[in-house]
Amino acid sequence: MSPGGAAQRIDNAEDQAHTEHRQIGDVAERTGLSLRTIRYYEEVALVAPSARSHGGFRLYTEADIARFALVARMRPLGFSLDEMRDLLEALDTTTRIGVGPGERAGAQARVSVFQASVEERVAGLRRQLDAAETLARSLRSEALLSPDVVVTTPEDALAAHYATERVL
What is the band of 11 on the pLDDT scale with cuts at 50, 70, 90?
very low
- As a whole number of Å, the CA-based R_g of the chain is 25
Domains recognised in the chain with CATH numbers = 1-76 (1.10.1660.10)
Q: How many whole angstroms separate alpha carbon 65 and alpha carbon 72?
A: 10
CA diameter of the chain? 81
Listed in sequence order, the residues at least 6 apart from 45 whose beta carbon sits closer than 8 Å to its beta carbon are 3, 4, 85
Q: How many whole angstroms separate alpha carbon 122 and alpha carbon 118?
A: 6
Q: Chain-wide mean pLDDT for the chain? A: 83
Give mean pLDDT, residues 84-90: 95
pTM (predicted TM-score): 0.66
| 2 pLDDT above the threshold of 50 | no
